[in-house]
Homo-oligomer: A and B are copies of this chain.
Amino acid sequence: MYYDILVNQNSKMLHNLSLILAKAETFATAKKVDMDVLLNSRLAPDMFPLGRQIQIACDTAKLGAARVAGKEAPKHEDNEKTLPEFKARIESVIGYLNTFKADDFKGAKETKVTQPRWEGKWMTGHDYFIQHVTPNIGFHVTTAYAILRHNGVEIGKKDYLGDMPYQK
């Protein structure tokens, strides 16, 4: 189950985000608007703009898999400026997620996850997965979506959810 969400579903959400950004680019071209305008758009003055939402969505997925597996994640410098750079960041994280195997997460209930800003506190990999990673990636991908939607980009919830595994 950890693998199904931390690898498969989170890769899917990042992939969907990349497709949404491609639609934003088509929109910007048609409107003769620089893509930078969208990448720097935000919903409130003290909320992060689109570009930063993409970076945090990427970090949520990357650190989610790494920390629950008790591994060290590769660093990203957060220096993306252009759409191709943001898309490359997404691809890089999807590539990283695909290096995990289901067995990597088998210690999730014992693994202690912490980070400097928690000042010595920690939580289990399992709790971190359920109460932090899963809601957080939804938060940042949805906020990216909402910024674009608010700016008029023609996307719908199907773009966010992506293809469904229907059977007949």
Contacts and interface: CB of A to CB of B under 8 A. Distances in A.
A68 interface: no
Contacts of A44: 149-150, 152
Interface residues of A, number: 43
29 contacts: A5-B134, A9-B130, A9-B131, A12-B131, A13-B135, A43-B43, A44-B150, A44-B152, A47-B149, A118-B166, A121-B167, A122-B167, A123-B165, A127-B165, A131-B161, A131-B165, A132-B161, A132-B164, A134-B134, A134-B138, A136-B161, A137-B138, A138-B138, A138-B139, A138-B142, A139-B160, A139-B161, A142-B143, A142-B146
Interface of A: 1, 4-5, 8-9, 12-13, 43-44, 47, 118, 120-124, 126-127, 130-132, 134-139, 142-143, 145-146, 149-150, 152, 157, 160-162, 164-168
